[in-house]
Amino acid sequence: MRRGSIVQLSVLAAIAATITTLVAVLIPWLPVSASTEAGRIHFVYWFTTVIAIAVFAVVAAVLAYSVMHFRARPDDDSDGPPTHGHTTLEIVWTAIPAALVTAISIVSAVVLAQNSHAGSNPVVVKVVAQQFAWQFTYSNGKTYGSLTLPKDRHVKLDITAKDVIHSFWVPEFSQKQDAVPGQHTSIVVTPDRLGTFPVICTELCGLGHALMRSHVDVVTQDKFAGFLKSGPAAGPPGLAVFQRNGCGSCHTFTPASATGKVGPDLDNLKDEAAKANRGSLDAFIHESIVDPAAYIAPGYPDAMPHIFGSQIPADQLTQLVQYLSQGAK
Ligand code: CUA
C-alpha cells in the first residue's frame, strides 16, 4: 500500500471519528445518573460507544476512499476484474469484531452481576402497580403513592402488579423492570444523589398509561429514618385512601389537588349524581367505585378498573366515600 493512501485513509477516519464523537458527547443522550447502578450502566454505554465510533471511523474511511479512488466512469459498462480476496484481511476483520463483542459481553456481565448485588441488609420496598397508579409499601407496613429512598443504601424493590403488565422506570436510575401480575420481579437501587426524580410506567397498560406517574424522593439516611417512624400523611383519612389508590391520576378533585383527565371530574359529583338518579350522593359514589360500569358518565369510556370493590377494605371505602361526598361542590 502506498504511503499517500495510508495518510488519506487516516485523515478520513479522523474526520469520521471527530464528527461522531462530537455527536456522542455534545448531545445529552443520558439523564444525569442518580444511583451507583446507573453509573455502571452509563459506563457500559460509553465503553460500547467508543468501540462503535472506532469501527465506524475505519469503515467510513475505507468506504469514502474507495468511492473517491475506484469510481467507474459513467459510460463504463464492463465487468470488474476477477479478484480472489485476501485471506489474512478476512481473518483480521472477523477476529477484531469477535474480540470487541466478547469484551462488551464481559463488561456487561460484570455490571449486571454488580447491579443485582443488594448487600446483606437492603431496604426492601414492595412496589405494586395497578391501572393507573403506583403503591410503595415499607417494612413498617405503611403504603404511599410516591417513593422515598435513602441516599447511599442498597434498596431492593420487590415489584408486582394487580391487573395488567406495567413497567417501573426512573430515568435517573437507568433501570426498567416489568411489573407482572402473579409474579415478583426486583431491582436493586443504590441512590447516590439527593433530589426528586420521576417514576414512570413504561409499558402500555391502558387508557391512563401516560398519566401513570409518581416520583421518588431521595433523602438523607436521617430523614429516611424519620420518614419510616412518622405517622400517615396529614389530612382526612379519606385523602390517604384517595392517594394510595391513585384516584388522582385519572380524576380531577380540587380538595386533593388532583388534576387527572381520563375519568369524570369529581368536583362535579353532585351534578352527575342527580343525572344518575341513585338516591343519596353517598350511595352513588359507593356504587361508582365498586361497580363503575353501573353508571358511566356521558362522554367517558368504561375505563375505570373494576377491582376497587374487592381491593379497598370496607372501612377505607367508607372513608373514601365520605371524603368525596364532603369535598364535592
Ligand atoms: Cu402502567 Cu403503563
Candidate from 46-55, 62-71, 92-101, 167-176 with smallest mean pLDDT: 62-71
DSSP code at position 32: P
Candidate from 58-72, 114-128, 201-215, 233-247 with smallest mean pLDDT: 233-247
Give the per-residue pLDDT at 231.
Answer: 55
Give the per-residue pLDDT at 179.
Answer: 97
Residue 186's alpha-carbon distances to 124, 128, 279, in angstroms, are 10, 11, 47
Please identify which residue in the block is written with the cell numbers 423492570: 177
Average pLDDT, the chain: 89
Give the per-residue pLDDT at 196.
Answer: 94
Task: Average the pLDDT over 81-104 and give the result.
Answer: 92
Is the minimum distance from the CB of 127 to ligand 1 under 6 angstroms? no
Candidate from 43-57, 149-163, 202-216, 231-245 with smallest mean pLDDT: 231-245
Candidate from 135-139, 223-227, 293-297 with smallest mean pLDDT: 293-297
Taking 80 as the threshold, does the pLDDT of residue 63 lie above it?
yes
- Return the ∠ at Cα 163 (arms to 139 and 302), rounded to 5°: 130
Contact predicate 61/16, CB 8 Å: yes
Contact predicate 175/34, CB 8 Å: no
Is the minimum distance from the CB of 159 to ligand 1 under 6 angstroms? no
Residue 234: pLDDT band (50, 70, 90) is low
Pairwise pLDDT comparison (208 vs 109), residue with the higher score: 109
Contact predicate 246/134, CB 8 Å: yes
Taking 90 as the threshold, does the pLDDT of residue 58 lie above it?
yes
Taking 90 as the threshold, does the pLDDT of residue 228 lie above it?
no
H helices present in the chain, as ranges: 3-26, 36-69, 87-115, 221-229, 237-244, 269-276, 281-290, 308-311, 314-327
Q: Which atom of ligand 1 is nearest to the CA of 208?
A: 2
Taking 80 as the threshold, does the pLDDT of residue 86 lie above it?
yes
pTM check: above 0.95:
no
Task: Average the pLDDT over 279-291 and give the result.
Answer: 85
Pairwise pLDDT comparison (2 vs 61), residue with the higher score: 61
CA distance linking residue 282 with residue 298, whole number of Å: 20
Q: Give the 3-state DSSP-derived string for 69-107, with helices as H, strands as E and coil as C.
A: HCCCCCCCCCCCCCCCCCHHHHHHHHHHHHHHHHHHHHH
Q: Which atom of ligand 1 is nearest to the CA of 166?
A: 1
Q: Which atom of ligand 1 is nearest to the CA of 179?
A: 1
Taking 60 as the threshold, does the pLDDT of residue 79 lie above it?
yes
Taking 90 as the threshold, does the pLDDT of residue 321 lie above it?
no
For 119-176, write each residue's pLDDT tens digit: 889 999 999 999 888 999 998 888 888 899 999 999 999 999 999 999 999 999 999 9
User: How many A from CA of 315 to the centre of ligand 1?
Assistant: 28
Is the minimum distance from the CB of 205 to ligand 1 under 6 angstroms? yes
Give the per-residue pLDDT at 235.
Answer: 67
Pairwise pLDDT comparison (319 vs 65), residue with the higher score: 65
Question: Smallest Cα–Cα separation from 129: which of 201, 211, 71?
Answer: 201
CA distance linking residue 138 with residue 216, whole number of Å: 14
DSSP code at position 187: E
Is the minimum distance from the CB of 203 to ligand 1 under 6 angstroms? yes
Contact predicate 305/130, CB 8 Å: yes
Question: Smallest Cα–Cα separation from 314: which of 326, 306, 322, 305?
Answer: 322
Sign of the alpha-carbon torsion through 93, 94, 97, 103:
negative
Q: Specify the amino acid at residue 166.
A: H
CA distance linking residue 159 with residue 129, whole number of Å: 8
Taking 90 as the threshold, does the pLDDT of residue 94 lie above it?
yes
User: How many A from CA of 302 to the centre of ligand 1?
Assistant: 17
CA torsion 315-317-318-319 (nearest 10°) is 90
Taking 80 as the threshold, does the pLDDT of residue 25 lie above it?
yes
Give the per-residue pLDDT at 1.
Answer: 66
Residue 102's alpha-carbon distances to 51, 95, 109, 262, 292, in angstroms, are 12, 11, 10, 48, 55
Give the per-residue pLDDT at 80.
Answer: 81
Residue 110: pLDDT band (50, 70, 90) is very high
For 169-196, write each residue's pLDDT tens digit: 999 999 999 999 999 999 999 999 999 9
